[in-house]
């Protein structure tokens, strides 16, 4: 009698615990979903990095053009040869 009661109690406890735990299939689906979301976030981040690099290149080009224009303006004008100076 005690043995059958103990077996029945263990069976009920194991069924109760099994019902509370998430199944491994659910965990695998959740992991796949999280992995997909992480991949999307990484793609978005890479796009932002590419945009920032493009903006930096454009800014460097604009700075170089500005420096060239400033150097041209700062250079003294070449003296013009006149017949009197010969």
Give the H or E element holding residue 42. helix 24-74
For the chain, what are the domain ranges? 32-64
Sign of CA dihedral 13, 19, 21, 23: positive
pLDDT of 85 higher than 80: no
- Look up residue 16 and give its two tokens: 């109760």
15 contact partners, CB below 8 Å, separation of at least 6: none
- Does the pTM exceed 0.85? no
Of 75, 79, 57, nearest in space to 67 by CA: 75
Could you read off the pLDDT of 65-83 as tens digits, one per residue? 999 999 888 877 656 566 6
Q: Read off the pLDDT of residues 42-67 as tens digits, 9 standing for 90 and up.
A: 999 999 999 999 999 999 999 999 99
């Amino acid at each position: 009698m005690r043995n059958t009661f103990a077996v029945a109690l263990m069976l009920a406890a194991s069924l109760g615990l099994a019902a509370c735990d998430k199944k491994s299939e659910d965990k695998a689906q959740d992991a796949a979903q999280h992995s997909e979301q992480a991949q999307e976030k990484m793609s978005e981040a890479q796009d932002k990095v590419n945009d920032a690099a493009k903006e930096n290149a454009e800014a460097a080009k604009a700075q170089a053009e500005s420096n060239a224009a400033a150097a041209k303006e700062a250079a003294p004008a070449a003296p013009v040869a006149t017949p009197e100076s010969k």
